[in-house]
Amino acid sequence: MTFEPIWDVIIACYLFLAGLGGGAFITSTFLRWRHPEAVNMIRIGRVIAPVVVMIGLVLLMFDATAGLQNPLRFALLLTNFGSVMTWGVVFLGAFMVVSLVVAALDLTRRRVPFPLDLAGAVLGLCVAVYTGCLLGVCKTFPLWNNAMLPILFLVSAVSTGMAAVLVVAIVKHPEEFNRVGVLKKFHFCLPIIELVLVASLLFITANAASVAGWNSVMQLVAGDYVLAFWFLFVLVGLVGPTALETWLLFFSPREFEESRRAHWISFASDAGVLVGGFVLRLLVLVAALPVTMTVPWL
């Protein structure tokens, strides 16, 4: 018997975009704190955040076929505050309102109150964590029902959000990109943390006394998804960006680090982080196998 994933590319896109949006807003708030002179990069994060989350929500509604046929069903998501989905709707709704207000104020050159920025960052963090908790409530899937998953998705969300802001800044505002050294060094650490978290997630899942957990891990590291896991996620998404940024930040001359050639190397590095962030969510969805239950004959 074969198992078909219950969620696939559309939900992977939603999880990726929701996390990226939260991470982009967190990035803009971080820049306001540590690099207030990078006004264009701050604006980039504030604009990316609501746009990508909105696209993700549209994809989610498109995937919810029954909800599209009867839109009133979506209202039922606000009736059970014991459900992770209900809290997810609250976080996403509040984040969209705050991020849209902040983006509107910024684009019209009005001052954004810092408490509003801070509220958006906190809500962005909640949205990023929620994307992992959403999967974690499925207790029959050992790869999902793991306390490491929300932490992993949070780190990945911040990493991809920062990468998105940096990619746009390299193209549009390279002079500001050169001045945000604290942000770049902080972003450099995230793929390393992510690699440790992934290894921990797989180790815990494989040793959870569950055949389904072991088989899920084997599908990733040595089975059907081995190429996507080791090449697209580990090499392109984590190891490659870490190696490139190590060279640029710590071993290359400052003159080269601020050159246009170095910018495009950073562009490739951050693009790899974005690829890895999406592939991570897709692999977590498609590789997860459920615990099989047998009912004895009565």
Residue partners of 238: CB distance under 8 A and separation at least 6: 191, 192, 194, 195, 198, 276
Question: For the chain, what's the residue count?
Answer: 298
Q: Which helix (H) or strand (E) holds 153?
A: helix 148-172
Angle at 191 between CA 154 and CA 254, to 5 degrees: 130
Distance CA 132, CA 122 (A): 16
pLDDT value at 72 more than 60: no
- Rounded to two decimals, the pTM is 0.91
CATH H-level, domain 9-287: superfamily: Formate dehydrogenase/DMSO reductase domain (1.20.1630.10)
The dihedral through the CA atoms of 257, 258, 260, 264 has a sign that is positive
> Can you tell me whether residue 70 is helix, strand or coil?
coil
pLDDT in tens, 146-156: 989 999 999 99
pLDDT value at 205 more than 90: yes
The pair phi, psi for residue 61, each rounded to 5°, is: -65, -35
Q: Which two tokens stand for residue 41?
A: 């990069």
Please provide the DSSP assignment of 219-278 as one string.
Answer: HHHTSTTHHIIIIIIIIIIIIHHHHHHHIIIIIS-HHHHTSHHHHHHHHHHHHHHHHHHH
Q: Which two tokens stand for residue 206?
A: 């494989």
pLDDT in tens, 257-272: 899 999 999 999 999 9
The domain limits of the chain are: 9-287
Distance CA 3, CA 1 (A): 7
Q: Is 109 left (phi over 0), alpha (psi -120 to 50) or beta?
A: left
Q: Is 209 left (phi over 0), alpha (psi -120 to 50) or beta?
A: left
**pLDDT bucket at 89, cuts 50 / 70 / 90:** confident
Q: What is the pLDDT of residue 136?
A: 81
